[in-house]
Amino acid sequence: MVDVNESLTRQVAALARLELSENEIQTFSHQLSQIIQYVEKLQEVDVSAVEPLSHPIEIPTFLRADVAHVSPTAGDGKPKVLQSAPEVLYDGFKVPPIL
């Protein structure tokens, strides 16, 4: 068990760049001690048979089939969607450079 005293509380406050009054140091020392006692109590729990979760509630994900669809083409063989593009480059949308 870690002994939380006023010296340790001052050191933690300095690392966190906190300015604490004497009253706050006494209060926080007591509270930090209680928190560490609680964490130590939690570490006693056997969780070896518990599988890790990505979410506390298992929700099935309904995904549609991944099917590729051919884009409709115009008379010249290019995709129709490019007809509405302001500028076309190499049979695709022309976008401004980012670098």
Answer whether 0.95 is exceeded by the pTM.
no
Average pLDDT, the chain: 89
What are the structural domain ranges in the chain?
6-43
DSSP codes, 47-84: -TTPPP-SSSS------------PPPB-TTSSBGGGGG
Q: Is the pLDDT of residue 7 over 90?
A: yes
Q: Is the pLDDT of residue 8 over 80?
A: yes
Residue type, 86: P
Summarize pLDDT for 43-81 with one digit per residue, the tens. 999 999 988 888 888 888 888 888 988 888 888 888 888
